[in-house]
Each structure stands twice: as C-alpha cells, then as structure tokens.
Amino acid sequence: MEKTRLQELYEKEIRSKLQSELGLKNIMEVPKIDKIVVNVGVKEAVADSKFIAVVMQLVAQVTGQMPVRTLARKSIAGFKIREGMPLGVKVTLRKRRMYEFLDRLVTLALPKVRDFQGISPKLDRRGSYNLGIKECLIFPEVDYETSEKAYGMNITIHTTAKNDEHGLALLKSFGLPFRKK
C-alpha cells in the first residue's frame, strides 16, 4: 500500500528536522500524530432521530470512514434527554486515513474559511490539539445543495508529544496555519 504525501514528508523530512530542533537523542522520542478524532454533536436529534443518519452520512463523506453514534450517558430532564439516546457521531482516524484527512484539512478546508486569521496555538498541556469548526461545508466532499443545515465539528489531533512545545512544533511542521501570538 502506498504512503500518503504527509506520511512520506514526516518520515523523510519532518522527523529528522524535529529531532535536531527539539534536541532529542533517540529517533523514537520524536513526537508523531497518533490519531485524529472527529466528533459532531447533533442537538436536533433530541426532537427527531432521523438527523443522526444525515450527520453520519456527512461525516462519512468528509472522513472516508463510517462513524459511530455517541449516546447520552445520563438523563437530563431540562433538555429532554434520556439515557442511551443518540446525540452525536464520532470517528477515529488512524494511519493512512488520518494523514489523508489532515492533508485535506490543511490544504483545502481551512483556506475556505471566511476571514481566516489562523487557528489558535493553544494545546491541551499533553501535546494534543482541539480544533472547532463552525461549518463542515468547508470540506470539498460536502455537497452544499444537499445539506440543509451546517453542522459544526470538533477535530482532536492526538500526538505522542510529551508537552505542548513539542506538540506545537510537530503540528507546525505539518503545515497547520497557527495564528501569531
């Protein structure tokens, strides 16, 4: 199986550059992207569960992998939510699909965001990064005419970095457009 463009870039250039940049002795210490989790919450599913099927199809188009439903852990009467009710979908991408998704996100989707100034350079103190997108219509796979509502999504990029400095250096080397501090 052929490697993706970003996978080859990581193995040939990024890994050795990061090792010298971060002052790491062993090549195995160099951080890498472990997985990408795409999560979409569907508040309309409380009233009508048919919305979940629409969002599942949408996320499958964007990621190239069928998502799983996420269920409510407990009942909340004020929001009319019952335990076990489907409230969203998520998909975990690894290896080839992960690199393909990241490539499309950086090169095609993020540049389509209106008035784009860059993404926040804050990580979660463990080297992982969370990115919230207001409209999933920025992905080229989504047909603007067929989707009746624009759903937001949360993209979590899990890395093997020990701290935020290493994680930020890794993500910058993959071309994520961070905003200047």
Q: Can you give the residue ranges of every domain in the chain?
A: 31-173
Q: For residue 13, what are the contacts with CB-CB under 8 A and spacing of at least 6? A: none
Query: Which residues face 73 on adjacent strands?
Result: none
Minimum mean pLDDT among 16-20, 43-47, 121-125, 176-180: which range? 43-47
Question: Are 101 and 93 within 8 A, CB to CB?
Answer: yes
Instruction: Kindly report whether the global pTM for this prediction surpasses the value 0.85.
Output: no
Count Cα neighbours of 138 within 13 Å in the Cβ-side half-sphere. 20
| Closest of 159, 153, 137 to residue 36, by C-alpha | 159
Specify the pLDDT at position 43.
Answer: 64
The Cα–Cα gap between 123 and 170 comes to 12
Give the pLDDT confidence of 6-39 residue by residue, as tens digits. Answer: 888 888 888 888 888 888 888 888 888 889 898 8
Give the pLDDT confidence of 60-77 residue by residue, as tens digits. Answer: 888 888 888 877 666 666
Dig out the tokens for 94 from the structure: 């690894």
* CATH topology classification for 31-173: 50s Ribosomal Protein L5; Chain: A, (3.30.1440)
pLDDT band at 49 (very low <50, low <70, confident <90, very high): low
